[in-house]
Amino acid sequence: MNNISQIQTPFIQNQSIPNVKPASQVEGFGQIFKQALEEVSAAQNTSDKLTDKLVTSEVQDIHEVMIAAQKASLSLQMTLQVRNKVVEAYQEVMRMQV
């Protein structure tokens, strides 16, 4: 018969966990959502600029323009879905009886 030994986790001592911020530096949902909206806006602006350059023949690579447009579109769709889920969650909380 084979003996099965117990699996043990290594003891971690005095090691900091990456990407964990102290409580004083934790960002709220509003701040994270604001940053996401700024990134979506930047993607939209990039897409618009590349489209304008394509029309004026400054950009020859249509693939670059189409990729930027798709990135902007997907960013906006994801943002709208997150917003919808937040609104649904808020409405669900408001329906709760106290």
**pLDDT tens across 79-91, in order?**
999 999 999 999 9
**pLDDT tens across 6-53, in order?**
555 555 444 555 565 665 566 787 888 889 899 999 999 999 999 999
How many angstroms separate the CA atoms of 35 and 75, rounded? 12
* Predicted model pTM: 0.63
| 86 within domain boundaries | yes
| 70 within domain boundaries | yes
| 62 within domain boundaries | yes
| 8 within domain boundaries | no
CA dihedral sign of residues 10, 11, 13, 16: positive
User: For helices 29-55 and 62-95, what crossing angle results, to 10°?
Assistant: 150
How many angstroms separate the CA atoms of 80 and 91, rounded? 16
Contact between residue 56 and residue 81 where contact means Cβ atoms under 8 Å apart: no
| 55 within domain boundaries | yes
Q: Which range marks the domain in which residue 77 is found?
A: 28-95
| 77 within domain boundaries | yes
